[in-house]
Chains A and B, each alone.
Chain A
Amino acid sequence: MKTYDLIIIGDGPAGLSAADQAAAMGITFLIIDENPLPGGRIFTQSGLKQSDNIFNTAQKKRLFKKFSSFTRSLKSQTSVIGVFPDNILLLTSGEGTTKVRYKSLIVACGASETGIPFPGWTLPGVMTSGCTQTLLKTQGIFPKKAVLAGTGPLQLILADQLIKRGGKVLALVETGSLPTWLKASTALLGQWKLLKEMGACSLTLARHRVPVYFNSLVSSAHGEKSLQEIKISSLKGSLKKTIKTDSLCIGYGFVPSYEITCSAGAKQTLINDKWGPVRGQDMQTSVEGLFAVGDGAEINGAVMAEYEGAVAAIGTTRFLGKICESEAKKRLSLLYQKIKKEEKLRKQFNQLMKLPGKVFELASDDTVICRCEDITLRDLKTAAKDANSDINELKRLSRVGMGLCRGRTCGTAVGEILSKLTGSPLEKIGFFTPRPPFRPVTIGQLAKNDFKDN
């Protein structure tokens, strides 16, 4: 079995930045990712040539500039399906399954969208905002007419991008209030670039007369075989508007992918109501030599992810004993200053991304909560009576979260629902314990392995 000084999981902004910094300090490493091309979700690449470059930011260019120097260390289309004692990772790709060992590990595996169940959310035509943006970015394919609903400024940006590509936004539905938005914008004074961007997006909306509903959410979606109509309600529950549409993009923020750090033994904690690893200032988790960075640890966006990746790479070099303490401290203090500045900005962002409790009360008894196993709220209510306020007990009793997505889609909502049903805090409810394989694999992929040689 091959042993690496460092393995980096994920090639988004956090992973690329870590790789760049590690390479600069002479550390040899392996970087792996599930996707065919590096960049992560935010800087997803494709063969599509886009003359106006609306998705090409300065940060993307910066991250890719040094990428060519370590392309040979990148193993793409490879998933981590298990973490085992003695620092062993099980990796699966189309070629089969292999075991590798690491001395230190940087987990930069990103986040996925928070699944918020409401009546009709499983209908074809209801998709996440991230889905719509990915289709638009990588393939130039987009819904002709769509309603955008959710929490936070990302909806605003997506609306702008859709309109620029020729789409029509029928309505923008936002759980936050206008005063909260204005307050956050005032706090962003000085962040001219960001304010300018948000201002430009708002102007696009105004110019195209997109109706904006504050303090509101899409409370239900209707249709027989696919989406036909949605209902917009106020947070208090009164119906505001019914709109005929075949596309609904919902964006309620993101959930860190905790399965790898958790399986490796890192202590988890609740940060802004989402589970993620406890980390020190140098991004090290409760397990020595195991670092967690970017949105896979705590939702703080791509800029913070880049800083954190660099910090973790220095932390790793220090852990491996390949840098002297004073040099590490010098490099880190520069990065800590940048992180501190970014934290102020994120505070405002996170204020706008805060989900109102109401979003977890939309489901009716017949609403499917776990999309994979078709488990309804009624099923959860029945199982909750014997689940002792423990999400894993609820899982065993009802099969919730046991499907192909491994509970990554419904996990946050199930925790919130169980908390409401039992009156227990999220800390007590806990999170779905990740079990290998973290991704569905075929017997063929497992059978084609190098275990005998190890």
Chain B
Amino acid sequence: MTFERAEKGIERGDPFTITIDGKEVVAYSGETIAGAMLAAGKMTLGHSGQKKSPRGVYCGIGVCYSCLVTIDHLPSQRACQTPAKGGMAIESEKKTEQSHENI
């Protein structure tokens, strides 16, 4: 796994479960969808509108819109700006989907 949760000097919030592309993973309160996805080993979050090339978290501060995912059936949400909540269903945006290219 590429990203991990630091253990040294850190006290985490309460754990809960979210699903990422149908797979249940644990996230902690205070984490964003981007953080939870990276910690779950999910680097590719979506694909660009025109060329359909893979995209992941890039700026992490809500500016670049590279980290768009579908959250509870709502498409094109910024993973880095959305706090993770128990029971959320997150889908990374597939190559074939017509998502934010039509916005």
Residue numbers of A with Cβ under 8 A of B are: 34, 36, 41, 46-52, 54, 112-113, 115, 122-128, 130-132, 134-136, 138-144, 164-166, 225-227, 246-247, 368, 371-374, 403-405, 408-409, 440
Bound state CA distance, A425 and B81, in angstroms? Answer: 37
Please give, as numbers and ranges, the residues of chain A lying within 8 Å of B29 by CB-CB distance. 47
* Chain A proximity mask over B1-35: 1 for CB below 8 Å, otherwise 0: 11111111111110000000000000001111011
Q: Is the CB of A166 within 8 A of B103?
A: no
Q: Is the CB of B13 within 8 A of A134?
A: no
Residue numbers of B with Cβ under 8 A of A are: 1-13, 29-32, 34-35, 38-39, 43-45, 48-51, 53-66, 68, 80, 83, 100, 103
Q: Is the CB of B60 within 8 A of A130?
A: yes
Q: Is the CB of B9 within 8 A of A52?
A: yes
Bound state CA distance, A273 and B70, in angstroms? Answer: 38
Q: What would be 22 A-B contacts, judged by CB atoms less than 8 Å apart? A: A34-B62, A48-B11, A50-B10, A52-B9, A122-B48, A124-B45, A127-B60, A130-B59, A131-B80, A132-B60, A134-B60, A141-B5, A141-B35, A142-B3, A165-B10, A166-B7, A368-B53, A371-B58, A372-B65, A374-B49, A404-B68, A409-B63
Q: Is the CB of A136 within 8 A of B6?
A: yes
Q: Is the CB of A143 within 8 A of B9?
A: no
Q: Is the CB of A48 within 8 A of B12?
A: yes
Which of A136, A404, A405, A408 sits near B103, CB closer than 8 Å? A404
In angstroms, how far is the closest chain A Cβ from the Cβ of B96? 15
Q: Is the CB of A166 within 8 A of B3?
A: no
In angstroms, how far is the closest chain A Cβ from the Cβ of B4? 6
Please give, as numbers and ranges, the residues of chain A lying within 8 Å of B13 by CB-CB distance. 47-48
Bound state CA distance, A136 and B30, in angstroms? Answer: 12
In angstroms, how far is the closest chain B Cβ from the Cβ of A396? 17
Please give, as numbers and ranges, the residues of chain A lying within 8 Å of B12 by CB-CB distance. 48, 140
Bound state CA distance, A131 and B32, in angstroms? Answer: 12
Which of B7, B30, B59, B63 sits near A139, CB closer than 8 Å? B30
